[in-house]
A = this chain, B = another copy of it.
Amino acid sequence: MTSEAAKPIRVALLGCGTVGAQIVRLLTEQAHELAARVGAPVELAGIAVRRPNKHRDVPAELLTTDAAALVTAPDVDVVVEVIGGIEPTRTWLLDALRSGKSVVTANKALLAEHAGELFSAADAAGVDLYFEAAVAGAIPLLRPLRESLAGDRITRVMGIVNGTTNFILSAMDETGAGYAETLEEAARLGYAEADPTADVDGYDAASKAAILASLAFHTRVTAGDVYREGISAVTPSDVAAARVLGRTIKLLAICERVGGDGGESVAVRVHPAMIPRNHPLAGVGGAFNAVFVEAEAAGQLMFYGQGAGGAPTASAVLGDLVAVARNLVVGGRGPRESAYADLAVRPIAQASTRYHISLDVADRAGVLAAVAAVFAQHEVSIAAVRQEGRAADASLVVVTHSAPDAALRSTVDKIAGLPFVHEVVSVMRVEGEDS
C-alpha cells in the first residue's frame, strides 16, 4: 500500500492504564489497517507514565516520565491523553495545542471545566481537539451531535451516562437492598471505585451532561452549571414506590432547550428519576449507557452501547485519532467549538419537572382535601393520586404534572409540615413520559 510510504503520524500517549494499554495494543495489532485508513502509518512516539517499571508489556524505549517534554517534542504530531484529572493534565494539553499538536482526550472532567480554554488554544494553533471517549465510552455520540445533527435543532438530550450508578440502581431494583450495602457489593465486584464519590454523587454524570449540553446547544456549559443530585439518598422505599407504579429508578443526565419570557435558555441536570419500566432506558442494565436525543427535524434518536472499559474507550479514542491523522494527511480540520448561541443556563428551580410523592398520612377525613389544597396553592397540577388505608394510617401517593421545580419543592416542604403527615416516604422526579 503506497500510503505506508507516506510520512508517519507520530503519537504521544499520556497514560498507560486500562485504556492506554488497549490503545497501545490496537495501534500495534491494527497498524496496517490504520495506515490504510489514514493514508499514512500511525506510530507511537512515546508514552508518558508515572512509574515506567510498572509497564513491562509496552516497549521500554517508548516510556518516559517526562510528559511535559513529550507533549512538545518536535517529532510528535498528535497527543492522546487518557490520564484524567485537571492538573497537570490541563497544562500539558494546553502546551501541546500551543506547540501545534492536535489533541485527542477522554478527559470529561477537564473538558467540562476548561473546554473553552482548550478550544481557544486549538483554534489559535489551527489544530484539532477531539474527545468522543469523554462521554458514553464507545458510543458514537459526540460526533453525531457535533456533525450529523449540525443542520438540525436539538431540543433535548436524556440518558444514562454513568455505569457505576446504573449498576447500583439496577441491583437495588432487583434485590430490594439498601444503597450502602449495594454500593459495597458493587465495589467488591469492581463496578465501583474505592472512592466512589465522583460516580455516586453524580459528578461524573454532571461533567458528561455539561459536555453534551455544550455540543447540543452551541453554548458553553460547565460542570458547575449542572444541577446535580447523586443516588446516595435513594432508599428501598423509593425503589418499592417506583415498582408499584410500574416504574424504575435511573440516574439521568438531562439537557433541555427551554423557551420562556426571557428568550431561549438551557437547563442541564443530573438526578435520579422514575421512568416507566417499558421505556427503552429502563432496560439499560449494568455498565451500559444509552442516550436519547430529540431534534426538531430528526425526531427521536437513541444511541446505546458500552459506556466504559478499556477496549470500548480505546475504540472511541482511536476513531478520533484516525480523524485527526486524516486531517493531518489531507489538510483541513475537524469542527471547532461552536458556542455562538450563548444561551443562558437556567437554574433547576426554574426547570420544569414532575414529582412522585409518597406519604404516610393519618387515615381520616379531610386529609386528601388538605393535601390537594397545598398543591393548588403552589399551582402544581396533580396527574394521579392513590390513597390506601392501612392499620392506623394511610398511604397517599401523588404524581404531578409538569411544574417549576421550585414550586414542587415548596409543595413538598409544606406538605411535610402538615400535622397529619406522619412521614414523607419518597420524593422522586418522574421522567420519560408525556406530562
Mark A residues whose CB is within 8 Å of B: 1, 22, 26, 30, 33-34, 36-37, 132, 138-140, 143-144, 147-153, 218, 280, 283, 295-306, 309, 311-312, 314-323, 326-327, 330-333, 335, 338, 340-341
Contacts and interface: CB of A to CB of B under 8 A. Distances in A.
24 contacts: A26-B152, A30-B153, A33-B341, A37-B218, A138-B297, A138-B298, A139-B301, A140-B147, A143-B144, A147-B322, A150-B323, A151-B314, A151-B320, A151-B321, A151-B322, A295-B315, A296-B311, A297-B314, A297-B315, A302-B302, A302-B305, A303-B303, A332-B332, A332-B333
Given A140-B301, A147-B322, 14 more contacts: A36-B338, A138-B295, A138-B298, A150-B319, A151-B320, A151-B322, A152-B319, A297-B314, A299-B311, A300-B306, A301-B303, A301-B304, A331-B333, A332-B332
Nearest to A139: B301
A297 to B, nearest CB: 4
Nearest to A309: B299
Q: Choose among A22, A315, A316, A322 the residue with the greatest number of B CB atoms under 10 Å from its CB.
A: A315
Report copies per complex. 2
A83 to B, nearest CB: 19
A148 B338 CA distance: 20
Nearest to A150: B322
A134 to B, nearest CB: 13
Nearest 5 A/B pairs, CB to CB = A332-B332, A151-B318, A140-B148, A140-B144, A138-B298
Contacts of A316: 148, 298
A300 B30 CA distance: 19
Nearest to A26: B297
A144 to B, nearest CB: 4
A145 to B, nearest CB: 9
Given A140-B149, A218-B37, A326 B319 contact: no
Contact of A299 (B218, B300, B312): B312
B36 A149 contact: no
B302 A151 contact: no
A296 B315 CA distance: 9
Contacts of A304: 280, 301-304
A37 B30 CA distance: 35
A247 to B, nearest CB: 18
Contacts of A140: 140, 143-144, 147-149, 301
A280 B285 CA distance: 13
Given A36-B340, A338-B36, A306 B298 contact: yes
A212 to B, nearest CB: 14
A11 to B, nearest CB: 12
Nearest to A317: B151
Contacts of A322: 147, 150-151
Taking each of A132, A152, A330, A333, which has the highest tally of chain B beta carbons within 10 Å of its own beta carbon? A152
Contact of A148 (B22, B149, B319, B330): B319
A9 to B, nearest CB: 12
A301 B311 CA distance: 13
A367 B236 CA distance: 56
B149 A319 contact: yes
Contacts of A330: 332-333
Contacts of A36: 218, 338, 340-341
B332 A151 contact: no
Contacts of A305: 298-302
